[in-house]
Amino acid sequence: MRVTGAGRSTGYRLPAAGCRLSYDGQMVKVFLCAALLGCGVVSGWAQSSTSVQSSSSVQNLPSAPVAPVGTPSTLQLPPAPENRACDLNSLLICVKHVAEDEEGIVLSPLHAPAYDLFWIVPFGAATGAAIHYDTEAIEDLGIHTSRENKFNKLSDYAGLYGPFAAAGVGYAAGHVRQDDYLKETAVLSAEAMADAGILDEGLKYALDREYPMAHNAKGGFWPGGPKGWPNNPSMPSEHAMNVWAFAHVVAGQYDGIATKAVVYGIASTVSVSRVLAREHFPSDVLVGSTFGWLIGGYVLNHRSLEHGKLVDVSAVETPMGRGVEVRLNLSRGQ
């Protein structure tokens, strides 16, 4: 079990078990305090009982066997497996986190609860309506080369270069100032953008939708069939997915109104700019923005020490074999 609190963690790994804990944060603290108090009461009672009966008990005890020379006096347990955070000094851990999160994101629809239909159904309907009117919307914009170049550059800097640069600068500033919270935010935002980029490429090649500049902005899916694949695919918007993943992580870590207004304002500007630049259809941006926001939330919920899940269970490899790691996040919300 790994208990996380106030920036520190201690833990024990348990053998594999088919259980999953789900406690309220306050209840966990109460439980731990009660357990410690109970241990103190039992210990005090045992000591008093032992002192009263020591003279009669010692005479009835058999003599302890003599251990062979070189035998340790206490049982030596194997060390717990290492669980390091993503850092420049542990890039393999970063790769592992991204791979684990990507797997969880891709498989999340299989585990979605029924109440998620309250937003999945409207999202699907909105995407279908947007696809239906995509061609009409792009035709109404018309062709304006200067406008398209301007918004294309704006979306490049605000949707790709800016977020990645912000993550790098934030990490460096956190390291210099010894601000672990800022470093964590930078790392989580970079992990979210990496997950967004991987999913974006997979969906693009799976859907193979024409981009707006091709075939009179018809926006067909698999227009050339398998022989013409890939056809410079357009759905979803990479810029929108990237910047919304970044924005959700930053807004979740620094949840002030001003921070949310800035990062979500930039993300919205990028989304609109991709359409005005005629680089994407409105539905491409809608799908990219929604998926990016969901990816940022997934990474924030699973990786942030302060805003992550109260209880997290994951499989680990231990010197004693495969097991499960149960992490209790007692610093959430602090």
Residue 148: partners with Cβ closer than 8 Å, 6 or more residues away:
276, 277, 278, 279
Same domain, 211 and 315: no
Does residue 51 sit within a domain?
no
Least trusted range by pLDDT, from 67-71, 204-208, 293-297, 315-319: 67-71
Residue 81 has pLDDT above 90, yes or no: no
Does residue 166 sit within a domain?
yes
| Region class of 88: left (phi > 0), else alpha (psi between -120 and 50), else beta | alpha
Same domain, 204 and 299: yes
Does residue 73 sit within a domain?
no
Tokens for 202? 């997979």
How confident is the model over 152-179, as a mean pLDDT?
Answer: 94
Of all residues in the chain, the percent with pLDDT exceeding 90 is: 42
Closest CA to 240 of 211, 264, 221, 206: 264
Same domain, 157 and 276: yes
Same domain, 286 and 316: no
Q: Are 165 and 60 in contact (CB under 8 A)?
A: no
What DSSP string runs through 197-261? HHHHHHHHHHH-BPPTTSGGG---BSTTTGGG------SS-HHHHHHHHHHHHHHHHS--HHHHH
Same domain, 34 and 138: no
What DSSP string runs through 19-69? ------HHHHHHHHHHHHHHHHHHHHHHHHHHHHHHHHHHHHSPPPPPPPT
Same domain, 235 and 286: yes
Query: If pLDDT is split at 50, 70 and 90, which confidence band does 225 have?
Result: confident
Residue 312 has pLDDT above 60, yes or no: no
Query: If pLDDT is split at 50, 70 and 90, which confidence band does 224 have?
Result: confident
Same domain, 205 and 239: yes
Does pTM surpass 0.85? Answer: no
